[in-house]
Chain A
Amino acid sequence: MRTFFSNPFAALLLIVGGGGLIWLLITPYAFRASDVEDGRVKVTMWYMTGAKEEKPEVVKAFNESQDSILIVASAIPWREHERKILTTILGGGPPDIISQVGSVAKWATRGALIPLNEFIEEDSFDISVFFPALVQEMSYEDKIYGIPTATACYCLFYNKDIVGDTPPPRTWNELVTLSERFSTYDSHGRMTKAGFIPNYGNFPAAMFYSLELGAEFLSEDGKRVKLCTPPVIESLEWTVNFYEKFGLRNLSALVASFSTGEQHGFIKGDVVYAILDNTFGDQIRMYAPEMNYGVALIPTHPGSESVTSAGAWWFAIPKGAKHPEEVWEFFKFVSSKDAQLTLFLEEKEEKLLPSNRLVYKDSTFLKYPNIRIYKKQMENATSPTFTPFAHDAFWREYTNAVEKVIHNIASPEDALREAEKNIQNELDKAMIYDEYVKKHIK
């Protein structure tokens, strides 16, 4: 004892440290308060935050609409959402509801989500009330793993302040012509305003171009990747020509100076035509409220329909959730036509589109600005998940190929062939592993 306190400073450290350690080890650090509050079952949800951290309106509406279940929602940063969900499902104690974008396949293959088929059958829930593209994203091996609650589709935005009354381009070639008309340059010959930049944004224009030509990326049996096909090659050739016409350095310099928020190219007025998702109107409202802008269908080829990409924003139940039945009640609420319609109209911002097709027949809904365009666009919507098993690999390789082609590092054919090979590799690996796992889990 005396020895111990002969060094009071160290003794203090040891006591504090020891105390902290003990506390750390014996308390499971649970913020898991009781599961019941005011007589309601507490259901936890994680949603992804953008720049704003507001609880999803639908959660508030649900909580108010009944009094047996209370949903407590918390936000997770956009960038980290996948990894955080991975950690929490592995670490135990996941929330009851997770919200994500994109295909469920990544999680479903790993048994990380609870399939909803039982609930669907019990309640005779009609899953076809959602757009087919969205249902496709929720499915994996004949089971449904999530409920698509909202979607967003890509359309052509254009700056009316700059183009005036000029009607938006219907075809890709018209887009090129109009770009020529509206690009501006400074005295040094550097481009200050671009008519259009094919590779700026989340989706390369080439993707829509090829889809409209009927490109398919995966064979029927789901085993072969088909990337090096004529429609896709042509789409990349068109892209390369575009960049050559306007100058790679010009367009790259502009893109490199863009950022987000007010610094977005379209919002700054430095890009006249841009293919953006429909929620972009919200960005415009926030950062450039005076801008006159228009929305139109994505350009297509003469005689073809315009095609867009629409991914699902969905909710799902992770494995280990404690209140799946209550979550199902919430899911039913969130997919109902009334809830979706009301919430959509109440929101003052441009929001995600409803996933329930019935909403699109409602006359009030159809009066909403630009809705008709979105509705038309949604008729030809595809899911952006072409290869469920190798989704990330697909987009990584595809984007790489496009960039390589733009920078003249490879020809479209070579770049696509290489990308196809790599994606196929990942796909094969994933399928081999999947087979192995199925054999060993009985």
Chain B
Amino acid sequence: MQEDNNFMSNNAKKIAGKASLYLIYTFIGLIFFLPFLWMLSTSLKAGGEIFVYPPKFIPTEPRWENYVKAVRAIPFLIYFRNSVFITVMAIIGTVLSSSFVAYAFAKLKWRARDKVFFIVLFTAMFPMQVTMIPVFILYKNLGWLDSFKPLIIPYFFGGGAFNIFLMRQFFLTIPESLSEAARMDGCSDFGIYWSILLPLTKPAMITIALFTFLLTWNDFMGPLIFLSTKEKGTLALGLAMFVGQHGTEWHLLMALSVLILIPVVIIFIFCQRYFVEGITMTGIKG
């Protein structure tokens, strides 16, 4: 009898414990979600409902036409196309070149290897301002200003120290025996890289692709500095169009923000699984 009582109260404690845990998690989740909720609700409000006290989360009548207005106010399709182009190219460039370069540091043995790798990491520690202006001038001299080239081409040259580092970690977890066996069969190093290692690194590639996607899709500074013609804008830049001389059109801006967010959310939910897996498998703990 005694034991039954204990068992019951233990169970109850467990359930109570779990429930309160979920409560806390949900509460925190709500805090994170709240601004996002406001973003959604504002996108459907009429202008006058945004700045009211107490704050209104549910518009009196949802103004779906805000979305239409937002899409019409900027060359939405053109910007969408530009954003997609830049992002896709950046992803391809990063994935291919970071893995290609990482091979040199993970699988090849050469004397200067570790020193050069250190320099790779070293460059990541430089703030971007120190190269910003001369790079701008360089692009001017190359005639790359007001084009997508500055936003894409650099990704093909290694894709950034962080990505090289990640890929290298991943390559290191792949046993040497695989490449050895391939070498014995007459496979060149490029072949090893291409046919054997690369297919095995899908989670890492997806992770890198995801990070790059987030970076470029929402990037505001790059297009801001390098693009000037209106037709060459990106979606993130388009948000700036709603901040005018006499004021900001909050509801339209939020509508556009939601639209820009949708592809990101979809892709993220889709790839979420690979994401955690990818980073775990790089054995990044060490």
A–B direct contact (CB < 8 Å): yes
- Give A4 to B140 CA distance when docked, in angstroms: 37
Q: Is the CB of B225 within 8 A of A50?
A: no
A87/B145 in contact, CB under 8 A: yes
B211 at interface by CB-CB < 8 Å: no
Does B230 sit at the interface, judged by CB under 8 A? yes
Contact B73 A91 (CB under 8 A): no
> Could you tell me if A74 and B230 are in contact, using CB atoms closer than 8 angstroms?
yes
Known contacts A9-B199, A51-B246, A53-B241; A24/B140 CB under 8 A: no
- Taking a contact as CB atoms under 8 Å apart, the answer to whether A13 and B248 are in contact is no
Chain B residue numbers with a CB within 8 Å of A83 are 224-225
A21 x B241 contact (CB < 8 A): no
Q: Which residue in chain B gives the minimum CB-CB distance to A87?
A: B228
Contact B149 A93, beta carbon cutoff 8 Å = no
Q: A53-B73, A87-B225, A91-B228 are in contact. Are A10 and B96 (CB under 8 A)?
A: yes
- The verdict on B7 contacting chain A, using a C-beta distance below 8 Å, is no
Q: Does A88 contact B (CB under 8 A)?
A: yes
Q: Does A428 make an interface contact (CB < 8 A)?
A: no
B199 near A29 with CB under 8 A, answer no
A residues less than 8 Å from B79 (CB atoms) = none
State which size class the interface on A falls in.
35 or more
Nearest neighbor of A48 in chain B, beta-carbon distance: B245
Q: How far is the CA of A417 from the CA of B185 in the complex (A)?
A: 81
Question: Nearest Cβ distance between residue A88 and chain B, in whole angstroms?
Answer: 4
In chain B, positions 90-131 with a C-beta closer than 8 Å to chain A are 92-93, 95-96
B244 at the interface (CB under 8 A from A): yes
Interface residue from B96, B146, B246 paired with A260 (Cβ < 8 Å) = B246
B243 at the interface (CB under 8 A from A): yes
**Given A20-B89, A21-B89: A79 and B240 within 8 A (CB)?**
yes
Complex alpha-carbon distance, A51 and B48, angstroms: 15
Q: How far is the CA of A28 from the CA of B231 in the complex (A)?
A: 14
Binds A, one of B11-19, B26-34, B190-198: B190-198
On whether A7 and B246 interact (CB within 8 A), knowing A21-B156, A91-B140, the answer reads: no
Closest to A12 in B: B92
Interfacial chain B residues near A46, Cβ < 8 Å: 230
A80 contacts across to B, CB distance below 8 A: 224, 240
Residue total for B at the interface (Cβ-Cβ under 8 A) = 50
Give, as a whole number of angstroms, the nearest-CB distance from A125 to chain B: 30
List the B side residues contacting A7 at CB < 8 Å: 194-195, 198-199
Output the least CB separation between B241 and chain A (Å): 5
Select from chain A the residue with minimum beta-carbon distance to B145: A91
Stretch at the interface among A56-64, A127-135, A261-269, A353-361: A261-269
Report the minimal beta-carbon distance from A156 to chain B, rounded to whole angstroms: 19
**Known contacts A6-B194, A14-B96, A261-B47: A50-B244 contact under CB 8 Å:** yes
Contact A84 B228 (CB under 8 A): yes
Q: Which residues B59-93 have CB closer than 8 A to chain A?
A: 73, 85, 88-89, 92-93
Indicate whether B286 reaches chain A with its CB closer than 8 angstroms.
no
In the complex, per-residue mask of A329-355: 1 if CB is within 8 Å of any chain B CB, else 0: 000000000000000000000000000
Q: Does B229 contact A (CB under 8 A)?
A: yes
Is B35 close to A, CB under 8 A?
A: no
Distance in angstroms between the alpha carbons of A80 and B48 in the assembled complex: 27
Q: Is B271 an interface residue (CB 8 A)?
A: no
A263's nearest neighbour on chain B, judged by CB, is B51
Docked CA distance A53–B75 (Å): 12
Interface centre among A49, A78, A87, A260 (most CB of B within 10 A): A87
Chain B residue numbers with a CB within 8 Å of A368 are: none
| B140 lies within 8 A of A77 (CB) | no
Residue of B nearest to A16 (CB): B92
* A76 proximity list for chain B (CB < 8 A): 228, 230
A24-41 interface mask toward B, CB cutoff 8 Å, 1 = contact, 0 = none? Answer: 110011010000000000
B148 on the A face (CB < 8 A): yes
Question: Of A16, A29, A77, A264, which one neighbours B241 at CB under 8 angstroms?
Answer: A77
User: In the complex where A53-B73, A84-B228, A87-B228 touch, is A77 in contact with B92 (Cβ < 8 A)?
Assistant: no
Taking CB atoms and an 8 Å cut-off, the chain B residues in 232-255 that contact chain A are: 232, 240-249
Question: How many angstroms between the C-alpha atoms of A383 and B89 in the bound complex?
Answer: 49
Provide the residues of chain B in CB contact with A263, threshold 8 Å: 51, 247
Most central of B88, B191, B228 by chain A CB within 10 Å: B228
Question: A283 interface residue, CB < 8 Å from B?
Answer: yes
Which of B148, B230, B231 has the most chain A CB atoms closer than 10 A to its own CB?
B230
Q: When the two chains form their complex, are residues B194 and A51 in contact, meaning their CB atoms are under 8 A apart?
A: no
Q: Which residue of chain A is the closest to B152 with respect to CB atoms?
A: A24
Distance from B248 Cβ to chain A, minimum over Cβ atoms (Å): 6
Question: Within 8 Å CB of A85, what residues of B?
Answer: 228
In the bound complex, how far is the Cα of B74 from the Cα of A52, in angstroms?
Answer: 11
Q: How far is the CA of A439 from the CA of B114 in the complex (A)?
A: 51
In the bound complex, what is the Cα–Cα distance between A3 and B186 (angstroms)? 12
* Residue B257 lies at the interface, judged by CB distance under 8 Å to chain A: no
Q: In this assembly, does A17 line the interface, its C-beta being within 8 Å of a C-beta of chain B?
A: yes
B116 to chain A, nearest CB (A): 24
B143 within 8 A of A: yes
B146 contact from A13, A51, A91, Cβ within 8 A: A91
Other-chain contact of A24, B48, B89, B231, B247 (Cβ < 8 Å): B89
Q: Complex: how many Å from CA A53 to CA B241?
A: 9
- The listed residue (A4, A52, A92) touching B145 by CB distance below 8 A is A92
Q: How far is the CA of A84 from the CA of B230 in the complex (A)?
A: 10
B153 interface residue (CB < 8 Å to A)? yes
Task: Tell me the chain B residues, 196-217 only, with Cβ under 8 Å from chain A.
Answer: 198-199
Between A and B, 21 residue pairs with Cβ closer than 8 Å are A3-B190, A6-B191, A7-B199, A9-B199, A10-B199, A13-B95, A16-B92, A20-B92, A21-B153, A21-B156, A50-B246, A51-B246, A51-B248, A75-B230, A76-B230, A77-B244, A87-B226, A88-B228, A91-B145, A91-B146, A261-B249
Interface positions of B (Cβ within 8 A of A): 47-48, 51, 73, 85, 88-89, 92-93, 95-96, 139-140, 143-149, 152-153, 156, 187-188, 190-191, 194-195, 198-199, 224-232, 240-249
Binding site for B on A (CB under 8 A): 3-4, 6-7, 9-10, 13-14, 16-17, 20-21, 24-25, 28-29, 31, 46, 48-53, 74-80, 83-85, 87-88, 90-93, 259-264, 283
Given contacts A17-B92, A53-B73, A260-B246, 18 further A-B contacts (CB under 8 A): A4-B194, A17-B156, A20-B89, A21-B156, A28-B147, A29-B232, A31-B229, A46-B230, A50-B245, A51-B245, A51-B248, A77-B243, A78-B245, A80-B224, A83-B225, A84-B228, A92-B143, A93-B146
Going nearest first, the 8 A-B pairs with the smallest beta carbon separation are A260-B247, A91-B145, A17-B92, A51-B244, A88-B228, A261-B247, A50-B244, A6-B195
